[in-house]
Amino acid sequence: MPTIEVLTERVEPVAASAMANEVFARFEREPDALVIPVVDGDRPIGLIERGDFLMKLAGPLGQSLYGSREISHLMDPEPAVVEAGVRIDAFSDIILKSGPGALMRGFIVTRNGAYRGVGTAVALLRAVNDGQRSQNHDLAEQVRALSDQKTQNLSTARAMSRFVDAMGLEMRTPMNGVLAVAELLRRQPLNDAALAHVQTIIDSSETLLNTLRDAVDLAHAEAGELDIRPSPTPLRAVMDDIQSAWAPRALQDGVTLLVGYEGDTELAGVLDGARLTQVFNNLIGHALKYARTGMVEAGLKTQVVGDQVRLEARIRDDGPGLDPDRIASLFDRESAQDGGMALAVSRHLIQGMGGRIWAENNAGRGATFAFDLTAPRAIVEQEEPSNIAALIDLDLAAQPHVLIADDNATNRVVAQALCEMFGCTSETVDDGQEALEAVQTRPFDLILMDIKMPRMDGVQATQAIRALPGDVRNIPIIALTANADPDDAKHYLSVGMAAVVEKPIKPERLRMAMNAALSKDAAAAPDAARRKQRRAG
């Protein structure tokens, strides 16, 4: 196993006397920089973490309070420091045992006490993956003649997949909290500079979450466990969603983004629409990196062939183009090209859906990434007109009293802030057991229930509440969870929950779910009236 030195990135340090405004300008110039070290001579004395630093500047009066102060007032004075000769696996064990906070922090690498560079949890994750993959390869070479070679390799890959899953979960939980708080800040009456800071926090957090998603997917793919879930998918709608998602980012980057669809606008195919969107997102994100102040075209052409639908996707940029010697390995995990992990995941996803993916240089300037695949044609029935808009606009004038059950303090703060924004009163508890006890002693109109909690989780608590005697058993319960895939959501609804809202919580989505749940509850007028009478009394 290699040492920490291979993870080291030489980031130019700053002195403790540097001003906060200078550091902020540097973070703007270097969008990929997650941490900046602070040194006294060649001795590290602190670390500036992008998210924490920008959160402070984005806070009330943050710019006036900190902008002209020395960075020593804002740095972490006790960063993790590790000697370059420490083995990666030994350091990984220490980090994992230190909890989620340690995973989110950068660390300083020294040699004989002198500053040498910095490392991040993302780099550590990649290195552990690469190290494990290298060990698996060596083991495969040694046991090539043995009949159980395939079984041993698959077992190792699945163990690695479980490790990456666990690390991803530990990192997603606090990042979801950062995104939720940033979303609340963005809705406050801030000046343009503060809003820009908040947007930087959101963009950086989403970039890290996307990197984590790709790392988890890549580990699953190498373990033969990549999850592909085909279902009837309207293809024009996929491109409309991509246009809506990427237009603001392209505008921010000064890039002209053209998203096009060619084919029957009512056509649908039986494929994994979320995975198809993920591949487009990876390829468009990669193209935007190389088309600064240029153009990116993302198109999908569809045609019916018998009972099949053929999809031809092209993402073209007018950047510097690709190194001809590296095109063949561009989608390999070992590729040193920027974005190699996202491209490797895209290859696994397209191949998992039975297609092929490739890249080539354009005849003039730039490069084109392309993929083709074929899927069964689907018929998508027209849905009944939705009353979602009415539900969103419904005024919560009755000021419902809400119980919030979540073991994460940041999530509780966010949920309470949203309830206050919606005109609701609220109380909080730390787990399902406390929620069960609370509803038996005090009246509530609605419960916001986390799923993964100690002692009693959200599903168990919901089942226990539904088994209680009297009106309390009918309190509407909304699941708040980062695990909101269709199968999970169906399970939560089957145990008696009224709706499922994914973390990080989007205010509009939560308000819509609360209104829908309370509207259904209002149909049981006698029960609802009795609860409100108890609360009023």
How is 321-371 classified by DSSP, letter by letter? ---GGGGGGTTSTT--STTHHHHHHHHHHHHHTT-EEEEEE-SSSSEEEEE
**From the centroid of its chain, how far is CA 467?**
35
The reply to whether omega before 376 is within 30° of 0 (cis) is no
Greatest Cα-to-Cα distance within the chain, rounded to the nearest angstrom: 78
What is the pLDDT at residue 8? 80
Element (H, E) at 242: helix 235-253
DSSP annotation of 4 reads G
DSSP 19: B
In 3D, which of 125, 157, 128 has the Cα closest to residue 140? 157
Distance CA 102, CA 171 (A): 9
pLDDT of 164: 55
Q: State which H helix or E strand residue 47 sits in.
A: strand 43-49
Instruction: Quote the distance between the C-alpha of residue 464 and its chain's center.
Output: 31
Tell me the residue type at 336.
A
Distances in Å between the alpha carbon of 405 and those of 129, 454, 500? 35, 11, 14
- Spatial contact of 322 and 316, defined as CB atoms under 8 Å apart: no
131/66 Cα distance (integer angstroms)? 41
**Digitized pLDDT (tens) for each residue of the chain, 537 residues in all:** 578 777 788 889 999 999 999 998 898 888 878 889 999 999 999 999 888 888 888 777 777 888 888 999 889 898 888 888 888 777 766 666 555 555 556 788 999 999 999 887 666 666 656 656 666 666 656 656 554 555 555 555 555 556 555 565 666 667 777 777 777 787 777 787 887 887 778 777 777 777 777 777 777 777 777 788 899 999 999 999 999 989 988 888 889 999 999 999 999 999 999 899 999 999 998 898 888 678 999 999 999 999 999 999 999 999 888 888 888 888 876 654 455 678 888 999 999 999 999 999 998 889 999 999 999 999 776 544 434 344 444 445 568 999 999 998 888 888 888 898 888 999 999 999 999 999 999 999 999 999 989 899 999 999 999 999 999 999 999 999 877 677 788 899 999 999 999 887 888 889 999 998 988 765 554 444 444 444 544
CA–CA separation, 245 and 61 (whole Å)? 31
Rounded Cα gap, residues 111 and 133, in angstroms: 27
Residue 142's pLDDT is: 63
